[in-house]
């Protein structure tokens, strides 16, 4: 069963986020607190949305997907960015990941989103193969760029004083 996450799922979501980070060899980077997740997903202005995959018989949480809308200047339409897709190790291969992705694809269609995009680590061959089997196009010519920590602060310090409006995004 796939269902929208509720505020009661926050502790389990945080646990699975840490499990995903451990699988991706970056556990120390998964620092989001339950409070931050609660505000991001269920606050006045949600930053994202989450789905939960549960076992129909036991109700055990098997995985989750966390996504947020994005906008393409090229198509002039919104799209979806999948931030996390995670299925617990003992539940992989049972269809939970495909069910989560299919539910998100249906959400895209319902909302008129033209694109459904996500990132995958190049060494994660099982995930790459799974995504290819669904017809996903891997865009090798694009590279992910990230500024954080000190470099982000250094660039921000160079912003002009006037004319840089704050945004609420």
- DSSP letter at 122 equals T
The CATH class that applies to domain 2-156 reads alpha beta
The predicted pLDDT at position 93 comes to 93
Q: Cα–Cα distance between 2 and 64 in angstroms, integer?
A: 9
pTM: 0.89
Name the strands in the sheet holding 115-118, side by side, starting at the edge strand that comes first in the sequence. Answer: 2-4, 49-54, 61-72, 77-87, 115-118
Q: Which residues contact 51 (CB under 8 A, 6 or more apart)?
A: 2, 3, 4, 5, 64, 65, 66, 100, 103, 104
Domain boundaries, the chain: 2-156
Active-site residues, by number, are: 131
- Average pLDDT for consecutive 10-residue bins of the chain (169 residues)? 97 97 94 97 97 96 97 94 96 95 96 94 92 93 88 89 61
The predicted pLDDT at position 17 comes to 98
The tokens for 61 are 């949480």
The predicted pLDDT at position 166 comes to 63
């Amino acid at each position: 069963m796939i269902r929208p996450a509720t505020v009661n799922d926050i502790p389990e979501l945080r646990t699975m986020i840490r499990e995903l980070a451990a699988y991706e060899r970056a556990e120390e980077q998964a620092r989001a607190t339950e409070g931050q997740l609660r505000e991001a997903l269920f606050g006045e202005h949600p930053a994202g949305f989450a789905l939960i995959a549960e076992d129909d018989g036991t109700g055990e949480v098997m995985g989750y997907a966390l996504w947020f809308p994005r906008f393409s200047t090229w198509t002039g339409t919104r799209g979806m960015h999948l931030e996390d897709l995670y299925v617990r190790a003992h539940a992989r291969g049972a269809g939970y990941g495909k069910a989560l992705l299919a539910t998100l694809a249906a959400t895209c269609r319902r909302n008129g989103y033209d694109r459904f995009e996500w990132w995958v680590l190049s060494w994660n061959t099982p995930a790459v193969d799974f995504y290819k089997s669904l017809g996903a196009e891997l865009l090798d010519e694009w590279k992910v760029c990230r500024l954080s920590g000190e470099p982000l602060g250094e660039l921000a310090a160079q912003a002009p004083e006037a004319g840089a409006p704050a945004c609420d995004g």
